[in-house]
Structures are given as C-alpha cells and as structure tokens.
Structure 1
Amino acid sequence: VDDFCREFVSLATNSPEISETVLEMAFRIGLQPKIRSGVKLMGPRSLEKMMSVARLVEEWAHATEGTSETGGGGPQR
C-alpha cells in the first residue's frame, strides 16, 4: 500500500486538473480487493484519510493472516 500511495500521489501531482472525487475513486479502484473492502467499511472522506485507512487495513490484514486457519485464536472445541 505504501508503494501504491507514493506512486498515486506522484501521478496525481502531475494532473492538477483532476478533481478530488475522481482521484478518490481511482485510488479506491486501484487497491487490492481485500484492502478496498476494509477502506470502504471505514468510510474515509478524503484522499489523505483514504490512504491512511488503507495502510491501517493492510497492517491489520498482515497481523491477522494466520488466525483464520486456527479458528481466530480463540478456544478450540
């Protein structure tokens, strides 16, 4: 996500005529589906917040990667 954010900002900076709404939509579409879903749930209201939320969602996804295989880390029955 960090690399994507950097590249996106670089491209957006070179296209000042593109509206914030279009940039937000393009950013959202460019995210991996798993990250996009998490960002959508959080409902950020600006491109900057969307990027921050995408980073958080990615961190959360990495932190919980192995838990689904073990039943979520809770007690096993």
Structure 2
Amino acid sequence: MASIAEGDTIPDGTLAFDNDGNVKTISIYFLSAAKKVVLFTVPGASPLHAMVIFLKHVPGFLERAQEFKTKGVDELMCISGIR
C-alpha cells in the first residue's frame, strides 16, 4: 500500500458509499480535484465496531476544522471500511 504525504496528489480510485440503502461509487479524484484535503482513515470491521472507532477518532478532527480551514484546507475526508 502506498503512503500519501503532505503535498502529494491523491491517487485516483473509487470509493463506495451507502446512500439510503443504495450503494453508490465516486472517484477520489472527483472529490479532491483542485482542493487542499486532509484525508484520514479509521479502521472498521463490523458496522458497530466502525461506529465505535469513528466516534473515538473523528471528533478530534472536527474540533480542529477551523484550524485546518485557516491553513487553507478545503475538505476533511474520512475513509473507513466495513466488512
């Protein structure tokens, strides 16, 4: 797995997400093109486990959202997998 460092262009790929019971896909490039993005991931295994991890890690990023914005960040993106 390739790592992404500050200043890198995010490699394109496809993300799947649940939109009211309908699985949709979207391009990472489409989400991040011409934007300064903070991308972070949280582990996931089951829906319940993913929610516990989400609630543990995401609030810290949300609390710092204004700080990121003042540094020119356009988007905060979180990726999690559920098996």
Question: Normalised by the shorter chain, which TM-score bucket?
Answer: 0.3 to 0.5
Which structure is higher in helix share? 1
Larger radius of gyration: 1
TM-score by length of 2: 0.31
TM-score by length of 1: 0.32
Which structure is higher in strand share? 2
